Structure 1
Amino acid sequence: MQAAELREKLLDAALNHVAFDGWSEATFQAALADSGLEPGLARALFPRGGLDLALAYHQRGDRQMMRQLAAEDLSALRFRDRIARAVMLRLSLAEREAVQRGTTLLALPQNAAQGSKALWGTADAIWCALGDTSEDVNWYTKRATLSAVYGATVLYWLGDDSPDHQATRDFLDRRIEGVMQFEKTKAKLAQNPLGKALIAGPLKFLGRIRAPALPKDLPGRETPAEGPDQGSQPG
């Protein structure tokens, strides 16, 4: 059995205990006993025990979302609606108790950096699945903005008991609308002579920023969904 399969086996076993013990060492040990994996191998796969299990669960959801989005035809949707679809799909693939426990764990000061990285990873997965090809500063701003939107939506979703999570959908629409209004304001500023003068310096600097270039064929790297060129600002 390959390492990826062993990781999935241990993660599946852990999910049976997360509701009771969270993403903890107790859950790791219980999953180890249930899965029958050799302790040394399990520790090599998840060196930090419960924390690595929580992150693996989050990453599994990202991969599942990318695969499902790749199989959908979103061409008839406005781009903002594609983003909303991706976010709601990502939430539908998660178990609320597991996310609640993970959110609590990753909110701890010593784990905050890992939590931020996980959010960024989800935002990146969504943009890649939707065909983003930006290579300049927009690569960063798109992911930073979506990370904030997704993080806020997750927190709202955790307390939402409305039918079919309609309240969460409405909350997400409002967050996306807020982003769109901000982008419209930026566009108006850029068209104003005074605005152009004010932002000329920052734009010159930002124009030098490029997206990180990573090999597309790294082992284990998820292949982004094919899609139209979305390097321009979504609408």
Structure 2
Amino acid sequence: MTSDISATLLDAALMHVPFDGWSETTFRAAVADTGTDPTVARALFPRGAVDLALAYHRNGDAAMVERLRNTDLATLRYSERVALAVRYRLEVVEDKEAVRRGTTLFSLPIYAADGAKAIWGTADAIWTALGDTSEDVNWYTKRASLSAVYSSTVLFWLGDDSPGQTATWDFLDRRIDDVMRFEKAKGQMRKMPGLGLLMKGADQMLSGIHAPRKPAAPDLPGQWHIPS
């Protein structure tokens, strides 16, 4: 029941976002349009349209993951799988203006942390869907690199009016290639006498960093739940 009300409110809000953005005006209009008890609506979305915008983003992540699960990735290289996942994430968006308005919202200092967390969540969803098993500092570096690729691609995509968004997909491929070249350069530096020793020392210093662990009781207050 709660999820049904949330979905109904979000659908109603999306009708107003192109005109009023992810704002309190949009939130109140969605509540009025759906006849939802304002107390219930505020309990579901305490910060109003901000939480609606985050719910919209998470729905996009879920749709992307579902599409990946139904795609045969066996013949693709890993970099191609990552690029395809980012492309899927953008293709599931039905209204580019909703994303544009969300980008404006999360560029505000007060909500910047929420925006960064949402992008990190997308990167985590992609790596998890692709079967990432890293347990060390690579867990973080993979998601940080992909967050940068994803966020820059979104900004390019918002201004892209090329047929079939071809310019965006070319831009995405270039960003993925940049990351791959960086990783290749790191591998080459590890083979250099002086730098190799220095990087080995850095690796030892970072060896104590581990990926977050899922809590034994995910619903226990105060614990960080990592999506499976």
User: TM-score higher than 0.5 here?
Assistant: yes
Q: Who is 2:222 aligned against? A: none
**Which protein, 1 or 2, shows the higher relative CO under an 8 Å CA cutoff with sep ≥ 6?**
1
Q: Who is 1:159 aligned against? A: 159
CA shift for structure 1 position 215: 4.0
Q: Is this contact kept in 2: 1:66–1:129, CA < 8 A? A: yes
Q: Who is 2:104 aligned against? A: 104
Q: Is this contact kept in 1: 2:212–2:226, CA < 8 A? A: no
Matched, 1:82 2:81: yes
Instruction: Evaluate the alpha carbon distance shift between residue 223 and residue 109 of structure 1 in structure 2; reply closer, same or farther with a 3 A threshold.
Output: closer
TM-score, reference length from structure 1? 0.91
State the SS of the aligned residue for 1:126: helix
Q: Who is 1:126 aligned against? A: 126
Identity of aligned residues (%): 58
Q: Who is 1:5 aligned against? A: 4
Q: Who is 1:113 aligned against? A: 113
Q: Who is 1:66 aligned against? A: 65
Q: Is this contact kept in 1: 2:214–2:226, CA < 8 A? A: no
Q: Which moved more, 1:126-135 or 1:193-202?
A: 193-202
Q: Is this contact kept in 1: 2:81–2:130, CA < 8 A? A: yes
Calculate the aligned-residue CA RMSD, in Å.
Answer: 1.5
Matches within 5 A, 1:1-40: 1=1, 3-40=2-39
Count of aligned pairs? 222
CA shift for structure 1 position 216: 8.2
State the SS of the aligned residue for 2:212: coil
TM-score, reference length from structure 2? 0.94
Q: Is this contact kept in 1: 2:14–2:98, CA < 8 A? A: yes
The C-alpha deviation readout for 1:25-69, integer Å capped at 9, x for no partner, is 000001001111110000000111111111110011001111111
CA shift for structure 1 position 223: 6.7
Q: Who is 2:137 aligned against? A: 137
**C-alpha distance in 2 between matches for 1:9 and 1:126:** 27
Q: Is this contact kept in 1: 2:190–2:200, CA < 8 A? A: no
* Unaligned stretches of 5+ residues in structure 1: 225-235
State the SS of the aligned residue for 2:27: helix
**C-alpha distance in 2 between matches for 1:185 and 1:105:** 37
